[in-house]
Structures are given as structure tokens and as C-alpha cells.
């Protein structure tokens, strides 16, 4: 426990410094922002001393990925391994942070006011702009981190964007990223696994709930394997 807390303190300092550096290098090399972020993701794995495994393949046809959310490492690992330029849809509170918020502004991520219904219009417009530029939207449909074995109910933002823009959606399941526990301020050693599922049939009216059920089934199977 003491070691995991020392590691958490070390990583917190390193991570904050790395954010400042990646913002600077993205600003400096504006034509290579995606490459800068991939290098940053790789560096965090080296500094965090965790391993990473990708199961399956990222679908080249997808223009949105949806994922479960356990810790900020979810973003870090996908920045490292995802082949295309991701556009994260994040809370406006992050974008409003002094200096740190530039991690949203410089690479043209999308920030959204969740409680403001009128912001949905801007969200769809911004999402269309990013997709037309060849980027892949990345969203956590739970809306926040889950601290239990069950996925939280999915919010409707992903469905609204996907249905309006006729997007192709690939669910991604991430396990092991809870080795970083901000609430208890600990960071254990371990492996993070990224599991790529098949594209969703968005023609079905309840496709978002079907995706949630498939992701939950995958999470349950992974936990059963780990328990053996």
C-alpha cells in the first residue's frame, strides 16, 4: 500500500509536468499534433511501469469509439495505440482549467456543457466538423468513471451524435486501468487490456443499450478469466 501511494505521488507530479510539455510541443509542432500525443502516451507507459495489450483490431471504418471509463489511463493508452487522430469529447470543466485546459483547445478536442441542452447543437456541429476532417470521435457514454463492476447507464449524447451524423461505432472495452485509483491515491503495477469489439448495427433502435450489454458481457468474461 505504501509503495502504491508513493508511486501515485510520483506519477501525479510526472503526469502534470508531461501535460505542460505535451501542450507546449503540440503548440510548437502544430502539423504533428497527433504524433506528439502518441509519443506522450508511450512515455506515460514507461513512466507508469504498466504493460499494455490490445485484443482484436481497431476498425478502420469506425468514426466513433465508445469506451467504459475507469481512470485517466483509459485516455492515455488509447492515445498511444489508436492509429487515427482521436477527438475526445470532454467536460467543459476540463477545458476551462488554466493552462491544463489547453490539452483540449490546442488539439481541437470537443468540450461540452452536460447540463446545458442547447450545447447539444454545438456538440453535433463540432462533431461533424471533426469527422469531416478525418478524425475519430472518442466518448465515454457513462459520462463519468465507474467504481463498480457494473457499467453505469449510458447517457444519450453518443446516440444523438451517431444518429444525426450516421456514424459507424466501435465499442472498446478497457480492463486493468483501475490500477490507478485517484480516490484512494494509489497506483499499482499491472496490465491494461484494450479489447476491440465489432462495429455496432446502429439501424437497431436500441443499439446503444445493446452495445452496453455487449461491453458488460465482455467485462464480466474478463473478470472471470482473471479469477481463475
Per-residue pLDDT in tens (0 to 9) along the chain, 228 residues:
788 999 999 999 999 999 999 999 999 999 999 999 999 999 999 999 999 999 999 999 999 999 999 999 999 999 999 999 999 998 888 888 888 889 999 999 999 887 676 778 889 999 999 999 999 999 999 988 877 788 999 988 899 999 999 999 999 999 999 999 988 899 999 999 999 999 998 888 899 999 999 999 999 999 888 776
CA distance 151 to 149: 7
Rg (CA), the chain: 17
Measured distance CA(96)–CA(34) in Å, rounded: 22
Residue spans of the domains in the chain: they are 1-227
HSE value, Cβ hemisphere, 13 Å, CA-based, for 69:
18
Angstrom distance (rounded) from CA 213 to CA 215: 5
Does domain 1-227 correspond to CATH entry 3.40.50?
no
Amino acid at each position: 500500500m505504501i509503495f502504491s501511494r508513493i508511486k501515485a505521488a510520483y506519477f501525479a507530479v510526472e503526469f502534470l509536468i508531461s501535460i505542460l510539455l505535451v501542450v507546449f510541443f503540440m503548440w510548437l509542432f502544430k502539423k504533428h499534433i497527433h504524433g506528439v500525443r502518441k509519443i506522450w502516451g508511450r512515455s506515460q507507459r514507461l513512466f507508469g511501469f504498466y504493460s499494455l495489450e490490445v485484443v482484436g483490431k481497431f476498425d478502420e471504418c469506425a468514426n466513433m469509439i465508445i469506451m467504459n471509463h475507469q481512470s485517466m489511463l483509459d485516455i492515455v493508452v488509447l492515445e498511444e495505440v489508436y492509429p487515427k487522430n482521436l477527438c475526445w469529447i470532454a467536460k467543459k470543466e476540463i477545458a476551462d482549467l488554466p493552462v491544463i485546459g489547453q490539452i483540449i483547445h490546442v488539439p481541437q478536442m470537443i468540450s461540452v456543457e452536460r447540463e446545458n441542452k442547447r450545447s447539444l447543437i454545438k456538440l453535433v456541429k463540432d462533431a461533424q466538423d471533426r469527422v469531416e476532417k478525418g478524425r475519430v470521435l472518442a466518448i465515454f457514454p457513462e459520462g463519468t468513471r465507474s467504481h463498480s463492476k457494473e457499467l453505469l447507464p449510458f447517457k444519450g449524447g453518443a446516440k444523438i451524435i451517431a444518429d444525426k451524423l450516421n456514424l459507424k461505432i466501435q465499442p472498446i472495452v478497457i480492463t486493468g486501468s483501475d490500477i490507478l485509483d485517484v480516490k484512494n491515491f494509489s497506483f499499482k503495477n499491472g496490465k491494461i487490456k484494450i479489447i476491440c469489439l465489432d462495429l455496432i448495427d446502429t439501424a437497431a433502435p436500441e443499439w446503444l443499450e445493446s452495445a452496453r450489454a455487449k461491453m458488460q458481457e465482455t467485462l464480466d468474461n474478463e473478470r472471470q478469466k482473471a479469477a481463475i
